[in-house]
Chain A
């Protein structure tokens, strides 16, 4: 038996039973692994507590042990189906075709995701269907996030739960009520999955702590819901790859690789076009080329080899490949020379060195505006959360650079 190629190349949309609510939970590897699991588990437990059938799983091909890589968990809830039927329909696949509710635990995922090589960068709202909702936890307005999504031919909703992304470690979850707030938000936007009464009872029984119940209620009240129409969003450059039939590729598991190559200047190194990994980042390093002392440490230490040497002895960054790990900012010996800045403040991955050389003063001014004066002090695995310091002023522009 042969199935049509369409089945595994994407265009199919199987008629699923109507009474299945598919929740996709998008999170970042390592930093949000526990949070993602807590949310999918809580949805299942809470639904189960009111007699619904529910189960959860993770997207099996993901690598949640890798820094920042986009990952997904799923929760499936049904009022009428039995366990076996629900599983046969919903769990037969490693990924969902469509989701009735998409949760996004980090708003920078709105710029797209590339969890795996050779499949391209896909939009965060790839799985939404007509009438469904995509929910971000974010400090941004729905209108700002809408612009980043893929244009869809139908109406659906974009909801924002006001708040910060919650980051922690691989094995622990920073107990900041983020998981509970998401449950409250789900009750508001998808009462058919969980209503607020169920959430309140579930949280109360689980924690015996009224403050946590309040967190769920607060989230329920503070969600902002905005309609997304076919006019919103952008035409996404993502093309779903067409996978070949067994007769149509080489035997012996041999694939094309990257040709060795190096030239001085931006984009000078040959890199793998089929797996860029840039969507792993929530922050990007911003370089003050004018104060750079050309010590080479950023270029030398970058685990993803994102720095390209330039003819003037500086180091350009290829943001398409930068995973935002922050290593360069850590090793840079110059005060405030490389600073990590929220990825959503940028709308392109153009060479920063080219922008700098074109107009050094303007580049520095624009970058300092994006940086602001708040600096995050890295506090890995202390469990204390982020610490911030406020600068009085930014480092002044050095017109002639550092000799």
Chain B
């Protein structure tokens, strides 16, 4: 009974954190502008999404610090679109790649530059031109050139945004998939008399904005009437308001950010439960964790509704999905075994996944865009990829448990029973991973049979999924003949995860070949990942040395790794 109560307290605390602040459920003053429909990038989306995507793409973040005030993406976008300040001189455009800045003589410590500075930089122009030449010749671009082209895209987008017709808001009169046009181009689709009032309305909005008002809510009634005018032009084609509102809500609700915060708090509660016995916070921690899994599930469900497709179709979604998988699998095991360690191992990993997904929009692009043809209209995609990604999540959880175990070997080798328990827990997770990865590979084979005409073709992504599986099967079979024991399984669950990383990320970004190329991106964080992997392997090496008795027992191990046993 007490357990249930504590669980309910944890759950309610979690739900409270999700709901706060309550204002997020009320429409904002700019609601009419935010929910105005724009046709862009092959789908219809609310202006709020356009603002977020545009600002994030140019600035690398969805907020902009202007004159000491942090502006939202909507405020920044409106200012850019309606052009009410000297955007030539605002240090707005992201350029973070140091070698390129050094090469073209820009301050390497500055992160954002003004449009004018970049456009006037002759050396930069030369790099961009050379990059285009290389592209035309069909050769591989250097990192400098790739960054220069990305920068050119940012500048082009910025230039294109400063125009009344930058966004297509006038609906097509008849065709649900027809091409929309900008506000002043409306006459190409409608008679002048039906467009004129809207133009006047838009002019008033622009006037009000240009007159220097800091009170955007003043625009609300004007925006509302513009939006209803646009809807009235083509009520059949214009999407329902609830659809746009749902997406705006998703943008502002940040379910994945809320999820990692909850996982973090649950982690702290669980640590407290482990170390401070009288508090008995175990069930509250579980309650918080359940709330985290729930809000993340809800986020996925919303995203699926908005995109109208299965949950995992690109790198960003796979990272969020793996974060979810780690939490969900850990929760199931935790409920079975009540060992605390599943949750303790899973929470930091889920948090890392979700923070990564949230903070690297350049590498992991969160925007929702239409799928490439091969991924479309496909039953197998909706089960093959999530299954594979769930197996990665299982192996990630095993990695976490492996770290806890190795940390125990390193710091508390006398705690034999805990080490024994951790190995048993780890083995269960590895089983789930092997089953899911095997199933995922086979489902992929069935899909490939339909799509590419063969079950197995040694495509690099396929091959690496198999390599990852073999990397787990070898120690699991080695354990059967007694070649490795509990320590070996812990080491294996850490080391073999590198094969998963390679199959998941490396094939796309390191090898960059093969049929799975629609998941490929620009990458660029190879060095960071390589150093994290290197440090982790060093940690394993030190633990192994300690285990084998190579280190003197009295001396503290000289470790480059943080003493936190849950990760490196």
Q: A and B, one complex?
A: no
